[in-house]
Structure 1
């Protein structure tokens, strides 16, 4: 299944085939997915080839997510529930039928989590290190919101450095891979932060967030169907004295100032977007769709929050997960949520991963032994 976004990816893929890799505003930040299109079609031509590869990667992602849970919690029941919820929220699998970047990003996130969980346990081999770096870089270049993964790594790495410097001897600190990587990260923090801001500014330059503020829409392009009954729930009245930043200012500065100078309006916009984004509901979806989505998501949200508040969860994992989720939500809700809710799906695996452990702690004894878990 395709739409306008799909044809943007397909066009860029064809241009790369003809010209080689080049920077194309906006679409460059999806080049990870564009490269999948090129690779898949070089083996199996047509849309079918892309979908087949998306499902193969999704199967690998499911396995990776299961063993991520095993690596972190060493609890087969929690791993089983993680995989079960991954399949139960069928929209994760459903999106693999679409030629969207989210299809790939879900899988790359899960595979990244697997390698990171091995690094967390000190089991990452020398051969796995470059593979992990490739997967994380691929994820980052698949969609702009994947900046959440980089931010989470930065915060968790700095936290690990802070703990390691207090609890490890100098020799063991240097020899421990995760501590040494964190030390290098801290050493080059100014360069990393500067590069991060430059990339963020470049990404924002391709999004029309100022125009969105002027319209007051919650879902992207909802103003084009403003005559529909549901549109009133997805638009907010724009203040008459709305502050608009200098059009010539850098995009990051424009985003910052338009939020600060319109605080109450910005809060209303963000809160409303977050509500529809997090709960995966829309007024134009059927009641059945909305109820089923909530029935699957709410238990995991509840137990994920409980687990993140629990004392038995390592603080490094907490810092990673909280940063990842916070940046992911901010990166979407500060700009615009989409019509079909697909922006939420890539962050659900990590919520299921943490929530399943919280659920297992409460009801694990009731899971039938027939599952051999």
Structure 2
């Protein structure tokens, strides 16, 4: 009760000003990361993206190979290079989009919470202050753009509930852009499809529901072709043979107890994975469980003690609150399904591929975890929204 009263007193004092506070925090965080990195930060694939973007800006050339699977990000960079703004322009664009995403997250959670500002402020505050998310605005990598587009897609999906062509056009456009930003960008569109199927399932008669399922069945060959195209340049069997849980990180690799049965030559990428899993079930199961742990836990062998403690003491409890939020029946069901499906589908992708040595795969799904966790504590602590009076929905 004492903690609850403290929360309510803070809500009374800060509630009327929470948007201004969130905006100030967001600006300070952006300035802090740019100060830390001394401007745009290049790492890992940054130089490859810039080379691809320069070819687009100078010659309109979209080269073949691995980086075509990330085509939206080099295209985004090429626009700034063509304008002569260089890396600073790219980062400025990312920062602006991230600010729009923060506002969109606030509005989406508030709509899902029936106009309550408490969960919206909590989700947005976590999004703004979580270092593993906001740091990427200063990086010349795909993560910042991907995170912003994913959150904007959430906001568009929530607005679709009100009807009208505008929200639908915005949602479909954002889902297409997100799918082009990264090879695994399809998880956002797939999560939206699952949310849509749930909305159709709840309609009387379910004719549209069965019609859409039939359409998806007919489209299965095309989807299989796209999956093989996306996997073609990743060399997953090499990571399986090395027992890697994180790409090129041997510290936590697992090793087979018996010789592995490798797929015969000539199979497509997806069939190679299926063949390996079917013929090495025990080892493959250990790989999947290990990758799920390093992905979701936020723990990596080279992380500092402070970073590990932040994951254990803050991120892990947020997962529990997110589960509670996903089970709240008073929240619009398609919205809950979308919020839960994006992290779960991303986890499935990582389990079947390989995690990265940092948080590049986890960071894009954290805004969805934050939203569900905030909805999970909605109406807790005596409902802090009532302590300042309910505000109109955003």
For normalisation by structure 1, the TM-score amounts to 0.86
Matched, 1:160 2:199: yes
* Aligned partner of 1:268 among 260, 265, 286: 286
Please say if residues 102 and 346 of structure 1, whose CA atoms lie closer than 8 Å, have aligned partners that are also in contact.
yes
Please say if residues 245 and 287 of structure 2, whose CA atoms lie closer than 8 Å, have aligned partners that are also in contact.
yes
SS at match of 1:207: coil
Assess, with a 3 A threshold, how the Cα gap between structure 1 residues 90 and 129 changes in structure 2: closer, same or farther. Answer: same
Match of 1:139 in 2: 178
For normalisation by structure 2, the TM-score amounts to 0.82
Q: How many residues align?
A: 350
SS at match of 1:4: coil
Which 5+ residue runs of structure 1 have no aligned equivalent? 171-178, 224-230
What is the rounded CA distance, in whole Å, between the counterparts of 2:350 and 2:333 in structure 1? Answer: 26
Matched, 1:220 2:220: no
Per-residue deviation at 1:154? Answer: 2.2
What is the rounded CA distance, in whole Å, between the counterparts of 1:23 and 1:110 in structure 2? Answer: 29
* Aligned partner of 1:351 among 369, 372, 375: 369
Match of 1:226 in 2: none
Per-residue deviation at 1:48? Answer: 1.3
SS at match of 1:248: coil
Q: Deviations over 1:171-226 (max 9, x none)?
A: xxxxxxxx7xx787446323433322211111111111100111112111124xxx
Matched, 1:14 2:32: no
Assess, with a 3 A threshold, how the Cα gap between structure 1 residues 255 and 356 changes in structure 2: closer, same or farther. Answer: same
What is the rounded CA distance, in whole Å, between the counterparts of 2:71 and 2:313 in structure 1? Answer: 35
Q: Which piece of structure 1 moves more, 40-49 or 76-85?
A: 40-49
Q: Deviations over 1:108-158 (max 9, x none)?
A: 011000010001x224x4234333322211111001121211221222222
Please say if residues 118 and 384 of structure 2, whose CA atoms lie closer than 8 Å, have aligned partners that are also in contact.
no
Matched, 1:114 2:155: yes
Assess, with a 3 A threshold, how the Cα gap between structure 1 residues 40 and 370 changes in structure 2: closer, same or farther. Answer: farther
Match of 1:228 in 2: none
Map residues 234-245 of structure 1 onto 2, 5 A cutoff: 234-245=252-263
Please say if residues 106 and 121 of structure 2, whose CA atoms lie closer than 8 Å, have aligned partners that are also in contact.
yes
Matched, 1:48 2:88: yes
Assess, with a 3 A threshold, how the Cα gap between structure 1 residues 303 and 52 changes in structure 2: closer, same or farther. Answer: same
What is the aligned-residue RMSD (CA, Å)? 2.4
What is the rounded CA distance, in whole Å, between the counterparts of 1:273 and 1:312 in structure 2? Answer: 34
Please say if residues 64 and 110 of structure 1, whose CA atoms lie closer than 8 Å, have aligned partners that are also in contact.
yes
SS at match of 2:205: helix
Q: Which piece of structure 1 moves more, 110-119 or 131-140?
A: 131-140
Please say if residues 215 and 238 of structure 1, whose CA atoms lie closer than 8 Å, have aligned partners that are also in contact.
no
What is the rounded CA distance, in whole Å, between the counterparts of 1:367 and 1:311 in structure 2? Answer: 19
Matched, 1:329 2:347: yes
Match of 1:190 in 2: 217
Map residues 261-340 of structure 1 onto 2, 5 A cutoff: 261-340=279-358
Please say if residues 157 and 185 of structure 1, whose CA atoms lie closer than 8 Å, have aligned partners that are also in contact.
no
Per-residue deviation at 1:301? Answer: 0.8
Match of 1:4 in 2: 44
Assess, with a 3 A threshold, how the Cα gap between structure 1 residues 34 and 371 changes in structure 2: closer, same or farther. Answer: farther
What is the rounded CA distance, in whole Å, between the counterparts of 2:307 and 2:341 in structure 1? Answer: 29
Assess, with a 3 A threshold, how the Cα gap between structure 1 residues 19 and 271 changes in structure 2: closer, same or farther. Answer: same
Q: Deviations over 1:305-350 (max 9, x none)?
A: 1122333344433433343222211112221111122210000111
Q: Deviations over 1:348-368 (max 9, x none)?
A: 111111110111232363579
